[in-house]
Structure 1
Amino acid sequence: MASISQKEITAANRAAWNASAHLHTEGEQWKQLLESAARPGFSVLDPILTSILDGLDLKGKSAVQIGCNNARELISLASLGIRPEMGIDQASGFLTQAKQLADAAELNIRLLEADIYDLPLDVGQFDLALVTIGVLNWMPDLQEFFRVTSGMLVPGGRLVIYETHPFLEVFDPASATPFEPALNYFERRPQEVTEAISYDGKDHGEGEKGYWFIHPLGDIVTACAQAGLAVAQLREYGHTIREPEYDLYEGRAAQIPMSYCLVSQKLTRAKD
C-alpha cells in the first residue's frame, strides 16, 4: 500500500461512515430505538459498562462521548444521573440521527461534527470522556488521540473505554478457517475496509474505502499513561460486543479475550 497521510485517512474514514449512515436508519430497529429514547430511563448500556460507570461516582457530572455515532450511548448516560453534554463525531450522517434521538429524549446535547485531531478551541472540559466500540481502530495516531482526549478532561476527570479486544481483530469470522489468525497482531499498517459498514451482520455490498488499525493493548495503555492519564483499572472479557458474526468466538472452553474496559483518571498535577 502506498503511504497515506493522517488527514487522508481521517477524510476517507469520514466518507466511509457517511456513506453507510443510511443503513442504520432502515428497518424496525431504528424505529424502536427512537421510541425507546423517548421513555424515562432509556439505556442501551450493557450491565458491564453500567456497573463500571455506576462505581465511579459520576452522578451530576458532565460527559462527552468521542466517536459518538448516533449518540445512543451518550444519551443513555442520563439514566445513570450523568449529564450528557457533548457528542463528537466526524460523520454528519450519524449526527443527524443523534439529533433525532436527543430530541426524542428531550436532551439538549451539543453535537459536534469534527475530526478528533482537529477540534475547535471551544470544546471545553468534562468530568467523563466515554469511548465505546469501534472508535480506536479508526484512529491512525494513538498518542495524539489520548493527548487530545486528556485535554477534554478536567483535572481528576475519568476516561472510560469499552472496546473490542485488539486480539479479536486478528481473526476473520468469514474465513474458511475462522479460528486461525488471519492478521498479524503487531501489524502497524492501516487495513483497507471497502464493504459498507453496518452492525446487523448482513452484507450490504461495497462502500467507500476506509482504513482501520490493529492497536495492541500494550500500545493503548502506554499511550493513555503517556497522556497524563493514570490507569485505574483494565478488565478483559470473554464476551462479544461486536457484530453478530463474531458470536462464534464466544462461550468456548478455550476462550479468547473479546472485549475490555479501561478506566483512567487525569492527573491533578503534572508529573515530577
Structure 2
Amino acid sequence: MQDRKFYTEANRISWNEAAPRHEEKNQQRLLQDVTQSDFNALEPELTETLSRLDLQGKRVAQICCNNAKDLLSVIKMGASYGLGVDAASAFIDQGNQLIKATHYQDRMELLVSDVYDIPNQYKEQFDIVLTTVGVMSWMPDLSAFFKVIHSLIKPGGYYVAEEMHPVLLMYETDDQGVSRPLYSYFKQDPWKDTDGLDYFGHVNYESSPSYSFQHKMDDILMAGINLNMNLKYIREIDRDISNFCMDLEHQEAKPPLGFNMIMQKSE
C-alpha cells in the first residue's frame, strides 16, 4: 500500500482523462435536459430516500460530485444551496456549464479539491451531505473519508449515501459478458486498472492507472458508528445502479447490487 495521496492523485489524473469521453456521450443532452423544471438524474431509490428528509431550504454538499447533475437534481427537489466537490477539474468544468444552463449560479458552487483536503471554511455548513454510487470504492482511507463527511454536517444533520453493494465488487465480467465472483469479499490490497473509466460505453482505452478499494459493509457502517452517527435508514437494491456487472440483475441467483443509507450526526 502507498500513502493516501498517491492513490487520490492517481485517480484524479485518471478521471480527468475520462472526462472528455463522458462529455462526448452526455453533455449536449444534459445541457438540454437540466433546463426542464422536473429534471431528476437520480435513481428512483435515491429519490425516495432523499424524500424521507425535508429538503426544502436545506444546504446540501455532494462529495465526489462528478459533473454535478445529481446535485442539480437535489436543488430541483427543493434544496436552497448546493456545494459540489470533486478532484477532477474537467468534470467540475462540465458541471459549471450545467449550472449556467439552469441559471443556478446563485444557488450552487463547485469546488476542485481532494476530498481529504476540503477547506475548513465548510465545516458544519450543511444540513445534508450526499455521495452517490461508486464513491466509496475510490477511497483509500474510509475512516478518514467519514471524518470529512462528519465535519461538514451541522449537528443533527444527515449523511445520505447511494452505493454499490460491497458484495458486488467480488465479481468481474468475462469476455462473454458473464459476471462471476473472482475476488474475496475480504480483499485488502487495491485493484489497479489501466483500461479507462468509460462506464457508459464500456470501451477500454489505455489510461493512467486508477486504484479502487474493497470496503466491507461492516467497514462502512462502523466508520459512521465510530463517529457517533446514528443509522436511520438502510435499503438494499436488487437492480443495477452502477453500470457494473450489469448482467447480474438478470441472474436468478443474484447478489445485492446496491444500497441506500441515511446516517444522522449527533446534536
Residue 30 of structure 1 deviates from its aligned partner by: 2.1
Would the alpha carbon gap of residues 46 and 180 (structure 1) be closer, same or farther in structure 2, given more than 3 Å must change?
Answer: closer
Which of 10, 13, 16 is residue 14 of structure 2 equivalent to? Answer: 16
Which is worse superposed, 63-72 or 230-239?
230-239
Residue 237 of structure 1 deviates from its aligned partner by: 1.1
Which of 2, 8, 12 is residue 4 of structure 1 equivalent to? Answer: 2
Partner-residue secondary structure (3-state), 2:207: strand
Residue 182 of structure 1 deviates from its aligned partner by: 1.1
CA contact (8 A) 1:171 1:178 kept: no
CA contact (8 A) 1:74 1:84 kept: no
Which is worse superposed, 18-27 or 158-167?
18-27
CA contact (8 A) 2:133 2:164 kept: yes
Q: Could you tell me which residue of structure 2 aligns to residue 248 of structure 1?
A: 247
Residue 8 of structure 1 deviates from its aligned partner by: 0.6
Would the alpha carbon gap of residues 74 and 180 (structure 1) be closer, same or farther in structure 2, given more than 3 Å must change?
Answer: same
Residue 139 of structure 1 deviates from its aligned partner by: 0.3
Residue 176 of structure 1 deviates from its aligned partner by: 6.2
Counterpart check, 1:25 vs 2:23? yes
Partner-residue secondary structure (3-state), 1:189: coil
Which of 66, 69, 72 is residue 72 of structure 1 equivalent to? Answer: 69
* Separation in structure 2 between the aligned mates of residue 131 and residue 238 of structure 1, nearest angstrom: 19
Q: Could you tell me which residue of structure 1 aligns to residue 207 of structure 2?
A: 207
* Separation in structure 1 between the aligned mates of residue 195 and residue 32 of structure 2, nearest angstrom: 30
Query: What is the aligned-residue RMSD (CA, Å)?
Result: 1.5
TM-score (norm 1): 0.93
Q: Could you tell me which residue of structure 2 aligns to residue 88 of structure 1?
A: 85
Q: Could you tell me which residue of structure 1 aligns to residue 128 of structure 2?
A: 128
Q: Could you tell me which residue of structure 2 aligns to residue 154 of structure 1?
A: 154
Deviations 1:229-263 (A, max 9, x none): 111111111111122x6221003332310000111
Q: Could you tell me which residue of structure 2 aligns to residue 142 of structure 1?
A: 142
Q: Could you tell me which residue of structure 2 aligns to residue 116 of structure 1?
A: 115
Deviations 1:97-141 (A, max 9, x none): 010011111112111111111121212420010000121001011
Partner-residue secondary structure (3-state), 2:121: coil
CA contact (8 A) 1:238 1:251 kept: no
Residue 40 of structure 1 deviates from its aligned partner by: 1.4
Counterpart amino acid of residue 55 in structure 2: L
CA contact (8 A) 1:75 1:84 kept: no
Counterpart check, 1:102 vs 2:111? no
* Separation in structure 2 between the aligned mates of residue 17 and residue 103 of structure 1, nearest angstrom: 23
Residue 212 of structure 1 deviates from its aligned partner by: 0.4
Partner-residue secondary structure (3-state), 2:39: coil
* Separation in structure 2 between the aligned mates of residue 89 and residue 179 of structure 1, nearest angstrom: 30
Q: Could you tell me which residue of structure 1 aligns to residue 223 of structure 2?
A: 223
Identity %: 35
Counterpart amino acid of residue 53 in structure 1: L
Residue 204 of structure 1 deviates from its aligned partner by: 3.5
* Separation in structure 1 between the aligned mates of residue 113 and residue 215 of structure 2, nearest angstrom: 22
CA contact (8 A) 1:77 1:84 kept: no
Number of equivalences: 264
CA contact (8 A) 1:130 1:159 kept: yes
CA contact (8 A) 1:43 1:76 kept: yes
* Separation in structure 1 between the aligned mates of residue 43 and residue 17 of structure 2, nearest angstrom: 28
Unaligned 5+ segments in structure 1 are: none
* Separation in structure 1 between the aligned mates of residue 181 and residue 232 of structure 2, nearest angstrom: 31
Unaligned 5+ segments in structure 2 are: none
Residue 173 of structure 1 deviates from its aligned partner by: 1.5
* Separation in structure 1 between the aligned mates of residue 12 and residue 49 of structure 2, nearest angstrom: 30
Partner-residue secondary structure (3-state), 2:233: strand
TM-score (norm 2): 0.94
